[in-house]
Amino acid sequence: MKRLFSALLVLLFAASLLTACTSGARVIPGSIVNLGQIGEISSINSDIAGSLGGERNAMELANLTSAKFYEVDQAGRLQQNLDLGVVEVLSKSPLTVKYSVVESAKWSDGTPIDAADMLLSWAAGAGRENFYSMRSGSGLMFAEPVGESKIGDRSITLRYSQPVADYETAITFPVAAHTVGRIGAANFSVDEAKQRILDAIQKGDATLLTVLAEAYRSGFNTWQGITNEKLFVSSGPYRVTKCEGVLALQLRANPEFNLGPAPVIETVNLSYFTDATTAVAALAEGSIDATTTQDSGLVTLSDLINLTSAITDPKANVSVRASSSAEQVIFNFREDGRFSGTYQSGDEAKALKLRQAFMNIIPRARIVAGLSDAYKVELADSLVFQSGSPYYESSVRDNGLSEYLFQDVEKASEMVAETGIELPMKVRVAFDINSPRAQAEWILLRERAASAGFKLRSVGGDDLGETLRTGQFDVFIGAQPLISLEGQNVFALTASSFVGFESPKVDALLADLAKAEDERGRASALKAIDAELVAEAYGMPLYEVAALVVYSDRFASFTPSPRSESVTWGYQNWKLQPNK
């Protein structure tokens, strides 16, 4: 049956070559939508985050400028995009996957999308050299290309050394190979630039690959604006047409786009704000039409909702939903982390007991109760599942977190004493000092810590990203992705984790997840991962992070994204009120 289904997909893929149509007829001349984002945009290469928290803005840009093999539907599930191509599993042992694009697939400048683009995507996502791709640490790190590719080939094949669950979304098209290949070599033709990419990757030219990695990660930086329009090449429904710095981008619909849902609005202006209040104020003034945000600065989500409810002209519509993240307390397992086995002179049992002791002092109930005064908070009892999942309750029942249901300072104190460490144990806690949620959590966590033998000190300050990058912390408080949701990087727990968590048992369970034949098998693997994370005292979930989308009544049609984390998702459904 599965082979038959694969064959049908290939037939549908072939049919799409004949039926693909351009989007120009749908675009409404002169139509403009203005969208607000929080933070900055550091690169128009949507595979580069540039800074802590930059991932979301990069993903928002990718929704508009990058074609995808799979799209997220209204239910939050992945759906294959046959307009672009097909992802076909050739073998399960070892996992071998063929990625093919339709013959009509082109970049916005008319250059065909081919194997050079896909191999560049693989090299970046696999973590080769220093590309700094947002996909580094994904399943691509276990993949190697099969055979040689040449300019004009419409497919590549990757062989994975172990099963991975994210192979469907592994290859992306944020920037063109011929664009990257021309950075620093402006006189190259398109084919010469593509060949430069192919040679670096397939001949193992480390020197050239280092040069191309630098072009990939830095050549599209927005810090001083971008005047070279050749960098604006896009595979998506829109292309950047103006970049004057980190706070604003202008995009125009690509009239030839036929690799996914067609755009309707001609011009999209993206404005980037320092915090949520300024974005909401801009919406009230009519300078933006929609924004998505979480609480920031000294303003809670409840404050933001109250602010938006007071906006009458234009009227503001609000959507609040659980996002794809949960606020968590996570330990640093890197060598400088004081809860790691390495720091405790290789004594893994001692390190585990210290982590378990610390988990006993986390006042989960008080944290959630305090935040509930500001807005509805959904307690998170799983490190993997969202509360809306049909498998959430059964996982919670068996994952072991019931051992930490209530703060137990006496038990924590006894466990610390059993380790024989010198007291007090100094613990560096990293969190976003500008987040009211994190500030409240820090205050409550600190209250009873000393009674259990822990002396807490906040670290991170204004440069939390640098603190996390260098590993100079012991505990992190912040939002982390729930890997059970489709499209999430399941290796965020291990290989791509900034906390350096390594676990052969979790790795084996991730392999089981990748090999799962159906939803029940996938759920079984995820439940086992949830329980193992608790058993190894990876960290503690606190609550599900809510996300807020606000959009004005200038829209006649606007569909909030499945988890209210995006204003660029669903661009094809945008409709404006007449004369607005």
- What percentage of the chain reaches a pLDDT higher than 70? 92
Count each helix (H run) and each strand (E run) in the chain, helices first. 16, 19
Q: How confident is the model at residue 492 (pLDDT cuts 50, 70, 90)?
A: confident
So what's the pLDDT on residue 350? 97
Mean pLDDT of 445-455: 95
Q: How confident is the model at residue 460 (pLDDT cuts 50, 70, 90)?
A: confident
DSSP 130: T
* List of residues 6+ apart from 116 with CB closer than 8 A: 149, 151, 177, 178, 181, 194, 195, 197, 198
Mean pLDDT of 330-354: 96
Q: How confident is the model at residue 295 (pLDDT cuts 50, 70, 90)?
A: low
Mean pLDDT of 205-219: 95
pLDDT tens-digit profile of 123-153?
999 988 789 999 988 899 999 999 999 999 9
Mean pLDDT of 362-380: 79
So what's the pLDDT on residue 475? 97
Mean pLDDT of 286-311: 78
Residue 98 exposed, middle or buried by CB count within 10 Å (0-12, 13-18, 19+): middle
Q: Does residue 302 surpass a pLDDT of 90?
A: no
Q: How far, in Å, CA of 495 to CA of 474, rounded? A: 19
Query: Can you read off the two tokens belonging to residue 54?
Result: 């930059």
pLDDT tens-digit profile of 155-184?
999 999 999 889 999 999 999 999 999 998
8 vs 64 pLDDT, higher one: 64
So what's the pLDDT on residue 373? 61
So what's the pLDDT on residue 16? 41
Q: How confident is the model at residue 276 (pLDDT cuts 50, 70, 90)?
A: confident
Q: Does residue 579 surpass a pLDDT of 50?
A: yes
Please name the helix (run of DSSP H) or strand (run of DSSP E) that holds residue 50, with its range, or none: none
Q: How confident is the model at residue 488 (pLDDT cuts 50, 70, 90)?
A: confident
So what's the pLDDT on residue 22? 43
So what's the pLDDT on residue 174? 98
* Least confident segment among 177-186, 362-371, 550-559: 362-371
Q: Does residue 471 surpass a pLDDT of 60?
A: yes
Question: 208 — alpha (psi -120 to 50), left (phi > 0) or beta?
Answer: alpha
Contact, 517 vs 342, CB < 8 A? no
Buried b (16+ CB within 10 A) or exposed e, 406-423: ebbbebbbebbeebeeee
Q: Does residue 9 surpass a pLDDT of 50?
A: no
Contact, 526 vs 396, CB < 8 A? no
Mean pLDDT of 568-572: 95
pLDDT tens-digit profile of 227-263?
999 999 999 999 999 999 999 999 999 989 999 999 9
pLDDT tens-digit profile of 11-22?
444 444 433 444
So what's the pLDDT on residue 24? 47
Q: How confident is the model at residue 463 (pLDDT cuts 50, 70, 90)?
A: confident
So what's the pLDDT on residue 372? 65
What's the pTM?
0.87
Q: How confident is the model at residue 494 (pLDDT cuts 50, 70, 90)?
A: confident
Write a three-state SS string for 518-540: CHHHHHHHHHHHHHHHHHCCCEE
Average pLDDT of the chain to the nearest whole number: 89
